[in-house]
Structure 1
Amino acid sequence: MKNIIYYLPLITTYAFAQSSSQSISTVTGSANTYTSGLDYGSIFTLPPTITPSSYTSLRSSGATSGSSGSSNATTSSGSSNSTVTTSSSTSASRTLSQISGGTRTPGTSAAAAPRPSNTQACNGYPEFCTRKYSNITEVAAHNSPFARERNAQSNQQYGVIQQLDDGIRVLQGQAHMINNTLYYCHTSCDLLNTGPVEDYLRDVAAWLDRNPFEVITIIFGNYDWKLTDASGDAKLVTAENFVAPIRDSGLLEYVYQPPSNAMRLSDWPTLGEMIIMNKRVVTFIDYNFNTNAVPWLLWEFYNVWETPFSPTNVSFPCTVQRPDGISRDQAKSMLYMANHNLNTQVTIAGMNILIPNVAQLRETNGEEGNGSLGKMVKDCEDMWDGRPPNFLLVDYYNYGIPNGSVFRVAAEANNVPFNDRPCCGTPSSSLASGLERSMVTALTGTLAAVAMAMFML
């Protein structure tokens, strides 16, 4: 049982399904439990704040736990009296009292002494530890697995480990079935195949092992949800096909199973609760869900709505596209994702192909200006009663004005001070002379592959 030292004082309160040898039926048959009224005591404690019961505007509310005015709510890297390090360097043997910054035993009276303030960051900020999962805006890597140099079907520059290290907390990708194995491929595995889903998830699980205070989301795109075999017979790919790669990669032990397959904003636990349970991964699938067989792989559109996807229009409207037909009141009770990855369309041999519009990438990922991510977030807040999106889906997250501006936009939406740091490796300072030239070369190769595929038909 990994990292169990963190949770020993709470083992009678929390239900765990951690053993790697536990059967899949046992794991999927019971939901994680937690006590919403638990006194965190010396685990995750912040100075007294007003925590909204629903998702109110974090940008304008100075009374939320995200207020930048709290002198105690600092990350360990910026505080001289911090008692713990950030999650990227937290030792697996760290004790509960070290995590807390105090020694009080959970459940004892705190009247005799001031409650310790939390200095351990959850998803980068101490303020997030007591916020609900549904009350945080995170940057999402659109088509996270597709980071292959000189391939026009790529959507990211760095692989998943670097993405997570840089602050990406939502991973989205498109899976295809080949010979009964799921692969991450973009549009066609002949154009871009980055390998088995299981290999990708194994890297994610290893990263979670090393970062015990991080909560992530994975959205599986089930491209072959209506796959047919050579004879034309339906051969559906469903949520059950995703169980093996999730289990065999080691990720399953971290997957959170909600008490409902259609969670409302108020139903979600806090990040602190998920971290204490060590259930730190929320999984969604876009098509062919089966929560009877796989209750922890949620149907995305029972829980999340999306703005128009694959956008080619810089206006980036904040209207509901998927799922179709939900009311405004329904939308207000769900998580939502802003699709902010600008595309351009190319046509070859009668086929239309969307590729990232890298010529406008820095403006698209910028903090302000027409077509910027910052403007879209503000537009969404205006349209949805002050509530920013939960997920900001972007291409090449490391580019912007300045580079890494997507994380600045998320920090502002969360009403927390941006942890100012150089972003994301050492990308070229000139997008036009670097990434765009690579895209031209890559597009030539992609179109050649499409032409060959058409010839073989």
Structure 2
Amino acid sequence: MDFLQGLKGLQGLKGLIGQNQPAQQPVADTDDDFADFAAAASPDPSPVSIPSAPGDALPGSPIGTVVAGSAVPYTAWYRVWERTSPADFYMEMMVIPFILVAVAIHFWGVSSNKRRAKKWMAVHQPILESEFALVGFHRQPKIAPIPEAAQGGAKFLDSCNKLTGANLADDLIKEKTAWEFETYASGRQNIAFADFKIVLKRRANPMTLLTEEAAGLFFESIKPKAERLDAVIYPFDGNESNFVVPAVPGSAEIDKANHQRIGNSTYDAFVLAIVDKMEMRRFREERYDASLTFTKDNAKLPEWATTMSESAEITDTILTKDLVDAIKSADRLFEYLIITDQPVEKPIRLEETAPKKRIHLSVKLPSDGNYAPVLPLFQQFLRLPDLLVQSAHFRPEVTKKINKLREEEKAKLKKISDKEAEEERLKQLDKVKKEERDRKMKGMSAEEQRKQTACNNSPDLCSETYDSVTYLGAHDSPFVRDASTGFSTSGDQYYNTTVQLDAGVRLLTAQVHDSNGDLHLCHTSCDLLDAGLLSDWLGEVKQWMDGNPNEVVTVLLVNSDNQPSSALHSRFEEANITSYTYTPPSTTSPPAYGSWPTLSSLISANTRLITFIATLPDTPSSAAAYLLNEFTFLFENSYSNTAYSDFSCTPDRPSSVQGDTSAALSAHLLPMINHFLYQQELLNIEIPAVDNITTTNSPATSPQGTLGQSAAQCTNEYGGRNPSFLLVDFFDQGPAIGVVDRLNGVTQPVGRKAVPPRGSSAGSEGSSRSETTFEGVRELVADVRDGRGKQIKLGAWIWAAGKWSWGGLNLSGGDVVS
């Protein structure tokens, strides 16, 4: 009883410690993953005995070895047949046959082309060896040539045609690609060497072949050519000494004994082609030399062939009976035969025009391997240089005609070459200038550097095209109202041209007159105000441009006495200013708006002077092409204004656009605004109005008549396009330059110089005029006394150079003299 109770007590103790309790059931959860994990059997790790010492530990089993209780190790290939099926290899089973077929076709195509090339070489080898000492590559020249009896006749050619090429030497022909093969021959009189190329179909690449054939059905330009032979002979043309080994002692006597001469293989240069009419169009398009010829049928040739020749005499000489019979034998396998000395590609450099005589033959290869029809032509082709050396020496008239055409082509290329050389020279010059400029700028201040990088006084204008910039113009620039002219009221400016340019004026206008056989700058008449020689004034402009290399200047000359362009050009040459002149691509029509060069490009090219003439009686020569007819490029509003209400933006000249602003802008003419007034004096004489000049030139946009108001009005009427030129009197007043800066968006101009003060103009002018009262009359009386009175015009008596005053009133206009 006690034993049983003790067992129960022991079981109660186990229950207390949880040993006899059933395994706890997993608690269900909404998360399936955790539920699966909870449902998994609890691992039952076996105790592992820990060795008491490192030496007692057993070595571990290598990976992949069989472990006790495991029959087969598990690897990637473990029972692979159970994890794969034939369906897994359907893609490979579909692709591999195509690959095998493509490889088979490739090897078939390569071997097929090799057989055809060897067949051609075998058939033509005897003919080549009968003509040349060396045929093929890396071969020794033959010692004994083929007997002449075996070289000609039908039997010889028939025997050649039967050859198959089974035992052909490997060095006779070379495989360039799987469809192109080449061979070579040299060692013949009159021929330096000959190249032969066999072009076959791309049988090794059927996809390319099919694509070309299919595309050729729709596009003639990419239609593949038939299998063919392209052969080129390079004659000696008298240059045997460049190819033949130098003579050894005694060779001259041997040559003389054998009646052999070296250097007699020359013939006249010409181009003659015999072409299949079906190939004629492509032939002319692909070859430059063929473009020098004219096409004409010849009665000797079959109907399907024609000639392309430079002379009928050449054609008659070359078309021998043997050659014509050979062409007829080849029939439609014949493509073309050309004798030429000109390049195939159009030359783009002068050195490419050097004559290089060649003879080309192109024939189709027969598809059945029967070369009998073309062998006579091939043989005649190899012997053609002998005919040329013997007969191709033509009459001087023929060679003169041929040479004339070649010289014309050379002249065109020389002109292009000279232009490219000049451009390269200018490029190098610009590079040197840039390096020099960079060197100088390193030691300059920021303001000085900004001036150096400016174009027309502003860096912002460098990228602007010439036509998109507005320029301030000095009306009658050389006609100055200062002490040098006795303060003539005929003067339109207070300061000379140099001061004008320094202050920002970039358009200079002047009137040109013929005075005693030379060209002078005169205001209306040289008796009224003569500013001196045109060449001297241009020299002043040139001197200023020399010292201001970043400025673009425009000159407009009124050709009052209708002088020819050659006379004007000579004055530009005297001033040495032609190097600065710019000539647009066309002198008969203006560039489209925005197509003019930028100021920076004009400066870089150093073509910074644009010259307009109103007007030219003739077309300038190429040397004077920079003289541009004003009304081809510009239009003007009215210039004869006496009141502010007369100012208008409507075109007045040229007559073709008179009153039609839309037509003027559509023609891309540059707008020039004449903004100056005249005032009438005694005898209805008009002189520049100076009384209200500050208002006239004012940059203010009101009231009516200011320069600022007129510019804004014209910009609006021109659809937002600013006027290109604003032409004013007394440019320093206003100041007029403010309007130009506003239109150009220039806020910080650099490099301008302030005009020097004129001092007390009223006092100095009044004193000058008082002291010179009647001075002009006295000068005229002196001229009459000296016998020059017949040359004096009435206008001179009236104006007296602006110095005739009476009763304190300046009759030439201006202020009252006290």
TM, length-normalised to structure 2: 0.38
Whether 1:95 aligns to 2:441 is no
1:393 equivalent in structure 2? 727
Cα separation, 2, equivalents of 1:358 and 1:442: 21
Q: 2:653 aligns with which of 307, 322, 342?
A: 322
1:410 equivalent in structure 2? 740
Name the CA shift for 1:325/1:440 in 2 (closer, same or farther; >3 Å).
farther
Residue 183 of structure 1 contacts residue 194 of structure 1 at CA under 8 Å; is this kept in 2? yes
Deviation readout 1:272-320 (Å, 9 max, x if unpaired): 1101110000000011253442321001001000011132121311111
Per the TM alignment, residue 354 of structure 1 is displaced from its structure 2 partner at its CA by: 2.0
Q: Which amino acid aligns with 2:644?
A: V
Per the TM alignment, residue 383 of structure 1 is displaced from its structure 2 partner at its CA by: 0.9
Per the TM alignment, residue 395 of structure 1 is displaced from its structure 2 partner at its CA by: 0.7
Q: Which amino acid aligns with 1:284?
A: F
Per the TM alignment, residue 158 of structure 1 is displaced from its structure 2 partner at its CA by: 1.1
Query: Which aligned runs of 4 or more in structure 1 are off by greater than 4 angstroms?
Result: 29-33, 91-94, 96-101, 430-452
Cα separation, 1, equivalents of 2:770 and 2:584: 45
Whether 1:360 aligns to 2:692 is yes
Q: Which amino acid aligns with 1:387?
A: R
2:554 equivalent in structure 1? 217
Residue 238 of structure 1 contacts residue 288 of structure 1 at CA under 8 Å; is this kept in 2? yes
Q: SS where residue 378 of structure 1 aligns? A: helix
Whether 1:341 aligns to 2:341 is no
Residue 306 of structure 1 contacts residue 322 of structure 1 at CA under 8 Å; is this kept in 2? yes
2:579 equivalent in structure 1? 253
Q: 2:754 aligns with which of 404, 408, 423?
A: 423
Name the CA shift for 1:380/1:32 in 2 (closer, same or farther; >3 Å).
farther
Name the CA shift for 1:442/1:325 in 2 (closer, same or farther; >3 Å).
farther
Q: SS where residue 611 of structure 2 aligns? A: strand
Structure 1: stretches of 5+ with no match in the other structure: 1-28, 34-39, 44-90, 102-116, 226-236
Deviation readout 1:348-401 (Å, 9 max, x if unpaired): 3xxx4321111011111111233111111011111111122111111111122x
Residue 528 of structure 2 contacts residue 796 of structure 2 at CA under 8 Å; is this kept in 1? no
Cα separation, 1, equivalents of 2:671 and 2:725: 7
Per the TM alignment, residue 250 of structure 1 is displaced from its structure 2 partner at its CA by: 1.0
Q: Which amino acid aligns with 1:248?
A: E
Cα separation, 2, equivalents of 1:295 and 1:317: 32
Q: Which structure is higher in RCO with an 8 Å CA cutoff and minimum separation 6?
A: 1
Q: Which moved further from structure 2: 323-332 or 184-193?
A: 323-332
Deviation readout 1:8-31 (Å, 9 max, x if unpaired): xxxxxxxxxxxxxxxxxxxxx999
Residue 152 of structure 1 contacts residue 446 of structure 1 at CA under 8 Å; is this kept in 2? no
Q: Which amino acid aligns with 1:171?
A: L
Per the TM alignment, residue 140 of structure 1 is displaced from its structure 2 partner at its CA by: 0.4
Residue 514 of structure 2 contacts residue 561 of structure 2 at CA under 8 Å; is this kept in 1? yes
Cα separation, 1, equivalents of 2:648 and 2:772: 30
2:508 equivalent in structure 1? 171
Residue 565 of structure 2 contacts residue 620 of structure 2 at CA under 8 Å; is this kept in 1? no
Per the TM alignment, residue 422 of structure 1 is displaced from its structure 2 partner at its CA by: 7.5
CA-atom RMSD, angstroms? Answer: 3.6
Whether 1:453 aligns to 2:793 is yes
Q: SS where residue 127 of structure 1 aligns? A: helix
Cα separation, 1, equivalents of 2:768 and 2:710: 28
Q: SS where residue 412 of structure 1 aligns? A: helix
Give matches, 1:266-277, under 5 Å: 266-277=594-605
Cα separation, 2, equivalents of 1:171 and 1:300: 13
Report the count of equivalent residues.
Answer: 342
Q: 1:312 aligns with which of 627, 635, 642?
A: 642
2:459 equivalent in structure 1? 126
Name the CA shift for 1:426/1:303 in 2 (closer, same or farther; >3 Å).
same
Q: Which amino acid aligns with 2:793?
A: A
Cα separation, 1, equivalents of 2:677 and 2:769: 15
TM, length-normalised to structure 1: 0.67
Cα separation, 1, equivalents of 2:490 and 2:795: 20
Pair member with larger Rg: 2
Q: Which amino acid aligns with 1:328?
A: T
Residue 473 of structure 2 contacts residue 506 of structure 2 at CA under 8 Å; is this kept in 1? yes
Q: 2:470 aligns with which of 131, 134, 137?
A: 137
Q: 1:241 aligns with which of 539, 548, 567?
A: 567
Cα separation, 2, equivalents of 1:357 and 1:436: 18
Q: SS where residue 426 of structure 1 aligns? A: coil
Deviation readout 1:238-282 (Å, 9 max, x if unpaired): 222201111110111100011111223233100011011100000
Q: Which amino acid aligns with 2:687?
A: I
Q: 2:495 aligns with which of 146, 158, 177?
A: 158
Cα separation, 1, equivalents of 2:753 and 2:716: 31
Cα separation, 2, equivalents of 1:431 and 1:380: 34
Residue 358 of structure 1 contacts residue 435 of structure 1 at CA under 8 Å; is this kept in 2? no
Name the CA shift for 1:358/1:390 in 2 (closer, same or farther; >3 Å).
same
Q: SS where residue 455 of structure 2 aligns? A: coil
Q: 1:290 aligns with which of 598, 618, 632?
A: 618
Cα separation, 2, equivalents of 1:260 and 1:130: 22
Name the CA shift for 1:238/1:422 in 2 (closer, same or farther; >3 Å).
closer
Name the CA shift for 1:289/1:329 in 2 (closer, same or farther; >3 Å).
farther
Residue 289 of structure 1 contacts residue 297 of structure 1 at CA under 8 Å; is this kept in 2? no
Residue 527 of structure 2 contacts residue 795 of structure 2 at CA under 8 Å; is this kept in 1? no
Per the TM alignment, residue 427 of structure 1 is displaced from its structure 2 partner at its CA by: 2.9
Cα separation, 2, equivalents of 1:456 and 1:409: 37
Cα separation, 2, equivalents of 1:321 and 1:443: 40
Deviation readout 1:313-347 (Å, 9 max, x if unpaired): 21311111111232434421211111011111224
Residue 205 of structure 1 contacts residue 249 of structure 1 at CA under 8 Å; is this kept in 2? yes
Whether 1:384 aligns to 2:718 is yes
Residue 218 of structure 1 contacts residue 281 of structure 1 at CA under 8 Å; is this kept in 2? yes
Percent sequence identity is 32
Cα separation, 2, equivalents of 1:411 and 1:456: 40
Residue 344 of structure 1 contacts residue 357 of structure 1 at CA under 8 Å; is this kept in 2? yes
Q: 1:331 aligns with which of 664, 669, 676?
A: 664
Give matches, 1:58-207, under 5 Å: 95=436, 97=438, 120-149=453-482, 150-207=487-544
Residue 620 of structure 2 contacts residue 627 of structure 2 at CA under 8 Å; is this kept in 1? no
Q: SS where residue 325 of structure 1 aligns? A: helix
Whether 1:263 aligns to 2:602 is no
Between Structure 1 and Structure 2, the one with more helix by share is 2
Q: Which amino acid aligns with 2:554?
A: T
Q: SS where residue 220 of structure 1 aligns? A: strand
Structure 2: stretches of 5+ with no match in the other structure: 1-414, 421-426, 443-449, 782-791, 798-818
2:215 equivalent in structure 1? none
